Chain A
Amino acid sequence: MMEDQILQFFEWFWNLFGLWDAMWGIMGPAWPVIWTVMKIVAIIGPLMLGVAYYTLAERKVLGFMQVRPGPNRVGWWGLMQPIADGVKLLFKEVLVPTGANKFLFLMAPALALSTALAAWAVVPFGDGLILADVNAGLLYLLTMTSLGVYGIIIAGWASNSKYAFLGAMRSAAQIVSYELAMGFALVCVLLAAQSMNLGEIVRGQGGNSGLLGWYFIPLFPMFVVYFIAGVAETNRSPFDLAEGESEIVAGFHVEYSGMGFAIFFLAEYANMILITAMTTVFFFGGWLNPFHGWGMLGEVTDHVPGLFWMLGKMFVFMFMFLWFRATFPRYRYDQLMRLGWKVFIPLTLCWVVVVAAWMQTPYWYW
């Protein structure tokens, strides 16, 4: 539908010059590719802007929580700060340490960012607003988030620096441990939804009870586990052992300067936003209206587009990421491992059995 409208617009535009037939003759065969690229740009563009302003929001929120104003010099209320930061990093020299493996050193940031962006292909922003509506979307997401660790490990190894190497080792162990808990939490979700298609998972949470029909109610422990594991997988505070600036300087990206560092930064924030999108889709009904079916309130709010609800829910979780950072001290490494292996994995294993048994009883309302 949107595709037709855009095609009509192009036809009208090129007909102003009387060139439509010639243009379509050249571009027509490639149109599916062009259309896909346009959709990708429509996701990546706002995402990158979101990442830029998320960094500003982080500094502002941390500032307010610590009773200081945060960045307020560049632009109005500091609104141009992310752009100034970006320009600064762009003009910095990229240094390659002696003894570093140059190819891998330069490839690592690209690897980190590409997996962070590739995961967005299957995220549904609204009913039908999805780039690739694949059946195994949930598995694909799990795969892409687990591949992100390669960028970090390779960066740590290729840097030829002991601090970077320690950070990479920590990160590898951390991600492998928390992926299991994350996977089992998602097994509960796909048990409840009986589908691995993300659109189907959201539709499975629909119904006339509004937010009471979302999966965070029967799967509440899984939501907690998933979100905490998500914070751990994105190496965010309080689980930022891979960076640990008070112990190992900056961890895996200590040797990166300029754009190399900026790309790691982009990847980290894109991953954080991805985790919030995933939490929303799996446990908080994606694009669904929280008041659907609640009498008058439901009818009025049903006119709000689904994208608004999706983004609104994501903003809440994005704020929680910053809130965690301002609130909790960094975990010690053994505490982190203990939490992953001795608390989360047994808990998720139990809950899989509980949910599977619960679904066989008549008391399963979701």
Chain B
Amino acid sequence: MNIETLFYLFAVITVFAALRVITAPNPLHAVLFLVLAFVSSAGIWLLLEAEFLAITLVLVYVGAVMVLFLFVVMMLDINIEKMREGFWRWLPVGLVLAGLIGVQMVWVLGAKETSSGMTPVKHAADYSNTKELGRLIYTDYVYPFELAAVLLLVAMVAAIALTLRRRRDARRQDISQQVKVKKEDRLRIVSVPSANKAGAVEENVAPVVGHTAD
């Protein structure tokens, strides 16, 4: 099986999966088809000897992002009939958008400046795509890269700050205090004399004082 056959195999699977993402009636199936689309496009990247990007695509998108997607979609109570209502109304808008994206892609890929370097270059066996990528990111593109990182961090902090609500009256556990608890705080060893003298026992068995962790 040569590389071209493999490419067309992966390409057909990707396109089919992408189509099913928007046509599958069950949103959970749509998410799973999206996973398939990611995995098969990672296959295409592997054919381009971009093993770092390919595996990272699977690791980040399939291994983490799509798991959270699934998580959310499974929790939703979705009415499939209701979701289908707007299909015909929004179809023209979707078609226009799809057409725009298609035109853009043809434009970029067909331009003289980009089309010259489109044939992938074969590298020696010891060529490490990861090392090359790292070198580029941390030398030539270090400022954009760091900016993107800071942007992501800000977005993350903002998302947490916007959604985190603390209820004043909520009771929480303080783990460090729980860990600090000693045996003496919770347990009192009471010497109970043998029961031959009835009545003498009660005085010694006082209730253990309840300890609250807060």
B17 to chain A, nearest CB (A): 15
Set B51, B58, B130, B173: member contacting A147, Cβ < 8 A: B58
Binds B, one of A38-46, A131-139, A245-253, A262-270: A131-139
Residue interface mask B146-158, A partner, CB < 8 A = 1: 0000000000000
The answer to whether B52 and A139 have CB atoms under 8 Å apart is yes
A134, B59: Cα distance in complex, Å? 16
Q: Is B94 an interface residue (CB 8 A)?
A: no
> How many residues of A are in contact with the other chain, CB < 8 A?
27
A-B contact count (CB 8 A): 63
Among A134, A146, A169, A173, find the residue whose CB has the most chain B CB atoms closer than 10 A.
A146
Set B59, B67, B74, B130: member contacting A196, Cβ < 8 A: B130
Assuming the A-B contacts A134-B51, A335-B175, are A157 and B59 also in contact, with contact meaning beta carbons closer than 8 angstroms in the complex?
no
Among A104, A136, A153, A196, find the residue whose CB has the most chain B CB atoms closer than 10 A.
A136
Assuming the A-B contacts A143-B55, A157-B74, are A338 and B175 also in contact, with contact meaning beta carbons closer than 8 angstroms in the complex?
yes
Assuming the A-B contacts A143-B59, A179-B63, are A136 and B51 also in contact, with contact meaning beta carbons closer than 8 angstroms in the complex?
yes
Q: Is A175 an interface residue (CB 8 A)?
A: yes
Which residues from chain A contact B35 at a C-beta distance below 8 Å? Answer: 150
Q: Is B56 an interface residue (CB 8 A)?
A: yes
Set A134, A139, A147, A168: member contacting B62, Cβ < 8 A: A147
Q: Is A4 an interface residue (CB 8 A)?
A: no
A241, B32: Cα distance in complex, Å? 25
Q: In chain B between 45 and 73, which residues have their CB closer than 8 angstroms to a CB of chain A?
A: 51-52, 55-56, 58-59, 62-64, 67-68, 70-71
Which residues from chain A contact B28 at a C-beta distance below 8 Å? Answer: 157
Residue interface mask B109-124, A partner, CB < 8 A = 1: 0000000000000000
7 contacts between A and B (CB under 8 A): A135-B51, A136-B130, A139-B59, A150-B70, A153-B74, A154-B32, A196-B130
Show the binding face of A for B, using Cβ within 8 Å: 104, 134-136, 139-140, 142-143, 146-147, 149-150, 153-154, 157, 165, 168-169, 172-173, 175-176, 179, 196, 334-335, 338
